[in-house]
Structure 1
Amino acid sequence: MPGWLQLADGPDRVQPERLTRAELANLAPRALLRHNDRRTVWHANIGPIQTPQLLSLHEDLAEIVESNRHDGDKAKPAALVDAYPGLGKSTAVRDYGKTLHRKQIALGGQTTPDGHRRVPVIYIALTGNTHIRGLNASICRFYGLPTSGDADTLAERAVDAVLSMKTVVFIIDDVHFLAGSRGSSMRMANQLKYLSNVFPVTLIYIGVGVRQRGILREGFSPQETLFAQFGRRTTPLTLRPFTIEDEPGRVEWRTLLLTIERQLVLADSYPGMLADDLSDYLYARSTGHFASLMALINRGCLRAIRSGRERLDAELMDQVKNDAAAEDARQELAAAIEAGLLSSRPSARKPPQKPK
């Protein structure tokens, strides 16, 4: 819990001052070391960026969560954010959870009427081969409760914490770890139904390829009705990658790069460094996946600081390694762009209203 509450309650990170080359040269060695360290931490934590994809997901999540004001023990519909890896779905949902946490604290205060600390949102990430007891233990661990006992004992403990601390949302990341082979699918469906029945909260699941595994279908056979129940109670949501096949997509991509540019703390950075001079290059190397893009830029900034280059360009970025999936798709995209078959540059260079 301390890590999540630090994210939700803590102050927003402050962007370091952008110094000129002359100002960097005038810093004492220790001061320069500290400044560069602050820049490195900043670049590693840029975001979340309010992209159209993120804003749309937040709107959908808010609609589900805020309409779940049912009285009594009626099961609340859940949300499943299911998307390819590297699109920023976990970051986007955590950002929504942080916003909801702050809203609930503003409405009800830091403490409940009974004097307990108010914890509106909890976040847990699953691991491989997670079972009911393990999940309940993770929930108890989040609240700082003992994790001894069987699954039922842990569930009772967790429910008491949920009620006492006025929790309204569970965010459960990597839910695909619950989806095993065909033989274990029924146990997984039981587990998800168990969660929605026992805990009086809105469940937000995050996973990869969960829908393809049959969880939202009517089951593998007419007898497997638990899948049908889960599907009826769960609204599937997703995040789409950035695409450049049409003008709106190209405008979105340029807007994203312009937004990132303003957050880079490099002495020789300039407007258009990413959005003009590296637009096609960055798209080819990231394939439009947000996580791949941000990893590439973060590592590029680190190299620019360490080398004294203080800017990003293709020569420097060619030295930066990226994830295997992005690198595997890079050659085909780069060839299409070089041949003029594809471009990330919009016809109208001036973007619409920029995200924050």
Structure 2
Amino acid sequence: MSAPKAGDPLVGWLSRERIAEIVLRPKPHRDTFDGWQHYRLTRGELVPPPLLTPRQWATLSEDRRFDYDIFRRLTNVNLPLQQTPMAAKVTRLIKRRLLGNALKQDDPTLAGVMVSGFGHYGKTATVSAVCAAFEDSWLQLHDYLNPTAVPGTADLHAPVVYVSTPVTATPKSVCQAILRFFRADMRTSATLPRLVQLVADSLRDHGVRALVLDDISRLRMHRADDQDVLDLIRAFMSLNVTLILTGVNIPGTGLLREAKWNAKQRHWVLPPLESARVHGLEVTQTEHRFELVEMDRFRYSTSEQINDFLRHLHGIEVHLRLLKAKSGMLTGGTMPEYLMRRTNGVVGLLGRLIEDGCQEAMDSGRERLDEKLLDEIVIRRDDPDLTQDEIEPQTPPTSTPRPARGRRHRNTVFDDHGPAAADAAG
């Protein structure tokens, strides 16, 4: 690597060591303690490189151009997580529920939250961000010590546990997934009551305040195992932790098949469990509640909705690093309408379109985004097989559906009932 030239605009900021540190460092999955801590401690630390003009870029040595372009790509494909109006609604609810439940003293059952929405709506990113912020504040509140630690032990302090629901979920596999978060020593021969007790002990010993179960929509209520998993999850509500479940179109999966929509309080209410005991864990007879919140997409009908979308585009625009980018690249002219039409306001699809567009802009040398360039990018929203139901969230019921009309009886007047019937009639 050649030494930086005098007047190099990147001196003191960009180094190959810094790039290697970010690009090459291991990225453990967040469904383990190490992975979650890596996410919590490194989220939002990526700072975009300085903006350079084409002339400034041309003055760099070949090695420095390579370094700068690598960091530009890194920046352009890692768009910042912005507080959209949809995410703000979810954030407020989870923050209120987490803090309120964490401060409760004698409540035997803590209310939970379900976050629903279709694919690419930003459910996991939003829930993870607000839970990580809660863990930051909770650790600071207790000077990074576990207030419920058992004397004489050195258990990990994990205020938040993030677990992905197993693809073919059973009560045992869900318990094992939670225990794997702590790398707990599990015996495959352990019985379900033993695994449940191990989970209860782990949540208590590690000071867990929130248990996030992602992809909960993998449960399908026509399977007996999945119904047992749901009962087990509801039993966890009595373990002094806040359950946060996220999934695609939760109302459509059957998870809320017994729930009723409370129009006055505007949330779903689950009735008490019929059974008083689930796999050896006592379940309280109080009413079990999950508050369901929907992650929506951007709309473009009112002036307020348009301004929200423009603010989001501006937040992306100032983050991007393209040599020929100009102010208003995403917010000026017909570009907002174009982006809305291409993505239907879905945050994840919008991000993918812009990220792929930036890659193409750098590879082609055009170094800016416009409608002609983005027309070359194919995203899932452009698939003709994508129906509106896949991108529209299900809205709560506003009226009681009309009962299905019974099947009309067949007219049997002219039926031939056989000789015996004829003799009896005569």
1:171–1:205 CA contact under 8 A, matched in 2:
yes
Amino acid at match of 2:55: A
What residue in structure 2 maps to residue 23 of structure 1?
56
Residue 64 to residue 154, structure 1, CA distance change in 2 (3 Å)? same
Q: Does 1:287 align with 2:287?
A: no
SS of alignment partner, residue 79 of structure 1: strand
SS of alignment partner, residue 74 of structure 2: helix
What TM-score results when the alignment is normalised by the length of structure 2?
0.71
Residue 186 (structure 1) shift: 3.4
What residue in structure 1 maps to residue 94 of structure 2?
61
Separation in 2 of the partners of 1:230 and 1:295?
Answer: 45
What residue in structure 2 maps to residue 328 of structure 1?
384
Residue 70 (structure 1) aligned to one of 101, 104, 110 = 104
SS of alignment partner, residue 204 of structure 1: strand
1:169–1:201 CA contact under 8 A, matched in 2:
yes
Residue 10 to residue 86, structure 1, CA distance change in 2 (3 Å)? closer
Separation in 1 of the partners of 2:321 and 2:274?
Answer: 49
Separation in 1 of the partners of 2:254 and 2:49?
Answer: 47
Residue 96 to residue 227, structure 1, CA distance change in 2 (3 Å)? farther
Amino acid at match of 2:157: R
Residue 164 (structure 1) shift: 2.3
Q: Does 1:8 align with 2:40?
A: yes
SS of alignment partner, residue 157 of structure 1: helix
Separation in 1 of the partners of 2:227 and 2:315?
Answer: 45
SS of alignment partner, residue 291 of structure 2: strand
What TM-score results when the alignment is normalised by the length of structure 1?
0.84
Residue 203 (structure 1) shift: 0.4
Query: How many residue pairs were aligned?
Result: 327
Separation in 1 of the partners of 2:184 and 2:209?
Answer: 18
Residue 321 (structure 1) shift: 1.7
1:219–1:227 CA contact under 8 A, matched in 2:
no
What residue in structure 1 maps to residue 423 of structure 2?
none
Residue 329 to residue 63, structure 1, CA distance change in 2 (3 Å)? farther
Residue 127 (structure 1) shift: 3.2
Separation in 2 of the partners of 1:188 and 1:299?
Answer: 39
Separation in 1 of the partners of 2:326 and 2:300?
Answer: 24
Residue 330 to residue 130, structure 1, CA distance change in 2 (3 Å)? closer
Residue 297 (structure 1) aligned to one of 338, 354, 358 = 354
1:287–1:330 CA contact under 8 A, matched in 2:
no
Separation in 1 of the partners of 2:354 and 2:179?
Answer: 38
Amino acid at match of 1:65: L
Separation in 2 of the partners of 1:73 and 1:331?
Answer: 44
Superposition pairs for residues 130-279 of structure 1, below 5 Å? 130-148=169-187, 149-181=190-222, 186-197=227-238, 199-218=239-258, 226=273, 232-277=288-333, 278-279=335-336
Percent identity (aligned): 23
Residue 130 (structure 2) aligned to one of 68, 80, 96 = 96
Residue 171 to residue 219, structure 1, CA distance change in 2 (3 Å)? closer
Residue 25 to residue 153, structure 1, CA distance change in 2 (3 Å)? farther
**Higher helix proportion, which one?**
1
1:215–1:227 CA contact under 8 A, matched in 2:
no
SS of alignment partner, residue 119 of structure 1: coil
Amino acid at match of 1:265: R
2:174–2:229 CA contact under 8 A, matched in 1:
no
Q: Which runs of 5+ in 2 are unaligned?
A: 1-32, 261-270, 276-284, 389-426
Residue 275 (structure 1) shift: 0.9
What residue in structure 1 maps to residue 9 of structure 2?
none
Separation in 1 of the partners of 2:156 and 2:60?
Answer: 45
After TM superposition, which residue ranges in structure 1, 4 or more long, deviate above 6 angstroms?
227-231, 329-332
Deviates more, 1:22-31 or 1:84-93: 22-31
2:117–2:249 CA contact under 8 A, matched in 1:
yes
1:219–1:225 CA contact under 8 A, matched in 2:
no
Cα deviation digits, residues 82-109 of structure 1 (max 9, x gap): 1121211111111111111111111113
- Structure 1 or 2, whichever has the larger Rg, is 2
